[in-house]
Amino acid sequence: NTVVALYPGIYTPPLPPEATVQQEDYLYLASNVTPSGKTPDKNAYILNLQQVGGYLDGQALNGTAGANEPKQQLDVNPIACAHLVNHSSTCKNVYVEAFSWSDVVFDDNNNDESTYYSIPNERRRDGSPWYYQGSTVVTFEEETGGTVCGAAFVATKNIPRGDELFLHYGLNPPYPSWAKDWYTEG
C-alpha cells in the first residue's frame, strides 16, 4: 500500500454537478478530442479516474524537452512516471488510486517549499469544447477554476528495487488498436 508513482497529465473534468440535473440538455464533448490532440482510441495514455470523475491525458504533458518543448514531468517530479507502467493481467503489482489534489496538498508554513516536488497535473484550459448546455457550447477556458485531480499508482505487495511495475489496464472489448495484441477475445 505504498505510493510508487504518480500519473502525469492534463486533467479533463467530468460534467459539472449542475449540468447533470437535466441529462437531455447536456452532451459531454470532452471525450471527442483529448488535450494532446488525439482521439481517445488513438491515445494509449488516457487514464479514466473512476473514483473522482474525468480523465488524465498522460501524453499531453510528456514533452521531449527539446528546444521549443516543455520539460518532461520526470524533470520536475521524479515520481511522475506512472505513464511508463506496462500492462499485465497476470503479473500486476500496482493499482490506481484517483484523488483530488486539494485533499492531499496542504499549506504548511513550517516546511521549506524547495523540498516539494511539482504537482504533475494541471486542469484542462485549452479552449476546446467541454459540453453542450442546450445549444450553447461550454469550453475549457484559460482561467477555468476548480479542482485538479490526479492518480497515484499504489503497490499491491512488496516490490523489490529494480522490478518492473505492472498494471492490469482493465480494458473491455472492443479494444483500441494499440491494445488488441494484449487481449484474446473468446
CA atoms of 10 and 29, how far apart (whole Å): 16
pLDDT tens-digit series, residues 125-147: 888 888 877 778 888 886 556 78
Percent of the chain whose predicted confidence (pLDDT) is above 70:
76
Q: Residues, the chain, total?
A: 186
Nearest to 35 by CA among 61, 15, 54, 8: 61
pLDDT tens-digit series, residues 149-183: 999 999 999 999 999 999 988 887 787 777 777 77
Question: What is the predicted pLDDT for the residue at 25?
Answer: 57
Question: What is the predicted pLDDT for the residue at 65?
Answer: 40
pLDDT tens-digit series, residues 70-114: 456 666 778 888 988 998 888 999 999 999 998 887 655 555 555
Question: What is the predicted pLDDT for the residue at 66?
Answer: 42
